[in-house]
Chain A
Amino acid sequence: MTGALPRRALLGALAAGPAAAQGQPRLRILIAAEGLRDLAPLLPAPPGWVLEVTEEHPSFVGGPLAESVRRRAPLADLVIVGLPGMELGRRRNVWDALPPALAAAAPSADPAALSPGLRHIRDLVEREALALTAAPGGPGLLHLPRDRVRPPRTPRELLDFARQDPRGFLYPRLDSSASGLHFAVSLPYLLNDRDPADPQTGWDRSWAYLEALDPHIAYYPVSTLAAMEELKEGGCALITGTILGHITGRVRGRLPADTQLALFDGAPVLPLGVVALVPRFITAEAAAGVAALAPLLFEPRLQGLGFGRGILPGEPPWPGTPAVALPPDEQAALDALLPTTVAAEIAARPVARPLAHEFHAHLLLRWDQQIAGRR
């Protein structure tokens, strides 16, 4: 999640210490979220345990992990995922009820003291998963100065923009891109739909808008990265983006260094959540390891450098825990990417709650059938 911090992996590897002793019990951690690729070296092992960390695409949860759980031999003892990965596992009956030790691991805090994004994620996954963090997502629009785009500030302006230039605007598929998903989920707020939480019955204006936009979309890229490549190569002038994706895209060179992020007028920010879950049928020994690891997931260093808590706008450290300062050069780099005024504007925006799982599933299916599938 914090690809804005390029030395992270190296620091983590150095901090991991010498190789673990032979014969120690092993705890298998699966990280199944693309944006968390720098997290593994930062995960602290509980005393007496060796961590075995595997990184996979979120679809791994719905495929091999689900199959292993069905065979009562799960491939991992603890899974760290974003909300889409959690949803895949839920649909395949992968997750066990949240163990009390895991539920109690988060720093005790009055919910009112949590950031709105974190509060929404906690509410959404309560009793199923341990919310580790939330980061600012979308909706945003990315463009390049060379294209001299006056970024649309409203859905109406965006539709006009797309109509005037059929190759001008792209948004990626919702099921494999947070930027595409957050664009769609924000529409009912921007269009004053009846119930933004219910795409089944409360999104009349949003569905009509997506249908009206469809003829002016050349195609739906399969990922945010594919959309970024189009922007970079001049295949389009405007793509959807998230706040975090804008930062990491520029740091990792997926986006040109001068890429600009624009926000819709009056749009809320949707949080990107990261949660930890336990698959069914893990051994009692592994459960003990998970219980030992859980409090360590909230150590300020991991929360700061691994998840960006206290660094990203609108997401302060967990109440009662200190912030971790970035090295000055990295902080300067982050300030260049996200000027203080922009960060303040993001932090001041209302934070919308992600869709509940049944509505999330409905949205993906309906979008594929009604919007992408009709061309």
Chain B
Amino acid sequence: MAWRFWGAILVVLAGPTAAQPAWTPPDASEWQQFQRRYMAPEGRIVDTANGGISHSEGQGYGMFFATHFGDRPAFERLWRWTRLNLSRPTDSLHAWRYTPHGAFGVQDTNNATDGDLYIAWALLRAAERWNEPEWHRSAARIAHDVLACCVRRQRGHTLLLPGAHGFERPDGIVVNLSYYAFPVLRALSRIAPDPAWAELERDGLALMRTAAFGRWHLPPDWLLIPASGAAPSPAAGWPPRFSWDALRVPLNLAWQRFDAPTTQAALQFWDYPGHAHRPPAWVELRSNSIAPYPGHSGVQAVHMFLRLRHGASAPQAPGVARAPDYYAAAVGLQARIAYTMAPEPPAELPATAAATPRRSWIGDVLHAAGSYFATEEHEHAPPAGPSARPTMSGVRRTGAMP
């Protein structure tokens, strides 16, 4: 018998009320616009702002959209391309980055946990929608491997690694709070029951309360959880900003209808009438300096979504055609879908302690070595060490330029 975890929930907001101006749900034409702009015929989602590369994140988003809009052929193309091009030889996770030009293909087999979470969630939803047991099994395998590779305990806290390698440093663990997609964590607990899902939610929410920096009390894109037990701080190696990544923190919270302090902080920041450009694209959390240009349509959509969640009025969010690039379009579409989706029920826990074993550090070393030797000619050898995935910060999230 599974028991349900309730403790982490702060306040569950009611859904849209009659007094609130309702957003119309995005229709199939929005998905069609997204496909024409960003989904190559073979099923590759193109990050148009980053040299046409692709990510597991984009594939996961695309698969989620295809399922949401009931487009099974598109879903199958996306999943097939993802499986054929991003699969890793040693587990069920996916290489995070694919380059179509120059250094072609997958150059770094490290995964991106948000991408794997979305791929698994989309597979689960597709399996349920179209009654495909194999997709269900694939989702479960990914969920188990996320738990095995990307969940760590540090000083009694359960943390979600942004990728299997490169985020455990001598000074602590680097996390990306925007990877805590709460509806996804809850949904995956149904197919890979494990106490870790609820722990991730509980500790993730606690981290978000702590990670409140600068005048606006906002989380940074990348956060260091010091091994010493000191307070978390913006991670070195990335600009200490609330920007393109952290934008998804309030989105994920509001999606699950959590009224956490972060959503209120983000709303106050974006609503502030004194900004030269509203909503601003980002804020530097140490200096409090504000971007000299407005946020793209994805920022605008999340801003409006938060306003609606808090009972304020908001115009219809910008559609896909108004987005300057893939990321803005994807985040905007997510916000509009999130507004109409029912929240996921709390994470399920196994009745018995048959949880997925976490890897120890030695397990990781052996895993990395195994991957290396299993890869002929060492073309896809996963790099080891904390600098294994430096390029994640190199992914440029562009906004509307001034």
Contacts and interface: CB of A to CB of B under 8 A. Distances in A.
B44 interface: yes
A-side interface size class: 35 or more
Interface string B67-101: 00000000000000100110000000000000011
Contact of B37 (A88, A91, A221, A365): A221
Nearest to B99: A365
Contacts of A220: 37, 48
B395 to A, nearest CB: 12
A59 B49 contact: no
B377 A66 contact: no
B105 A62 contact: yes
B42 A226 contact: no
B46 A70 contact: no
B385 to A, nearest CB: 25
A176 interface: yes
Interface of A: 34, 57-60, 62-64, 66, 70-71, 88, 91-92, 173, 175-176, 218-223, 225-226, 229-230, 361, 364-365, 368-369, 372-373, 375
Most buried by A among B50, B52, B105: B52
Contacts of A92: 104-105
Nearest to B85: A63
Contacts of A60: 42, 84
> Which 6 A-B pairs give the minimum distances between C-beta atoms?
A368-B52, A365-B101, A57-B42, A226-B36, A59-B42, A63-B85
A373 B41 contact: no
Contacts of B50: 373
6 contacts: A57-B42, A58-B42, A60-B42, A219-B36, A220-B48, A373-B49
Given A222-B41, A368-B52, A375 B101 contact: no
B49 to A, nearest CB: 6
B37 A222 contact: yes
A373 B48 contact: yes
Contacts of B35: 222, 226
A218 B104 CA distance: 28
A291 to B, nearest CB: 29
B40 A368 contact: no
Contact of A365 (B44, B81, B102, B324): B102
A310 B173 CA distance: 66
B255 interface: no
Interface string B313-337: 0000000010011000000000000
B84 A63 contact: yes
Contacts of A57: 41-42
Contacts of A176: 40-41
Nearest to A34: B41
A368 B105 contact: no
A149 to B, nearest CB: 21
B20 to A, nearest CB: 32
Contacts of A222: 35-41, 46
Q: Is the contact region of chain B dominated by helix, strand, or loop, or is it mixed?
A: loop
B21 interface: no
Given A59-B85, A173-B52, A375-B398, 7 more contacts: A63-B105, A218-B321, A221-B37, A222-B36, A230-B36, A361-B101, A375-B324
B134 interface: no
A369 to B, nearest CB: 5
Contacts of B325: 375
B348 to A, nearest CB: 36
Contacts of A230: 36
Given A221-B37, A222-B41, A225-B41, A88 B85 contact: no
Contact of B376 (A62, A71, A219): A71
B36 A361 contact: no
B44 A361 contact: no
B292 interface: no
Contacts of B321: 218-219
B344 interface: no
B105 A66 contact: yes
A58 B104 CA distance: 14
A110 B289 CA distance: 70
Contact of B46 (A62, A88, A173, A225): A173
A221 B376 CA distance: 37
B132 interface: no
B85 to A, nearest CB: 4
A91 B101 CA distance: 9
Contacts of A361: 101-102
B128 interface: no
Contacts of B51: 365, 368-369, 373
Contact of A62 (B40, B48, B104): B104
A185 B377 CA distance: 36
Most buried by B among A34, A176, A225, A373: A373
A158 B102 CA distance: 31
B90 to A, nearest CB: 14
Contacts of B81: 59, 63
Contacts of B36: 219, 221-222, 226, 229-230
Contacts of B377: 70
A218 B40 CA distance: 17
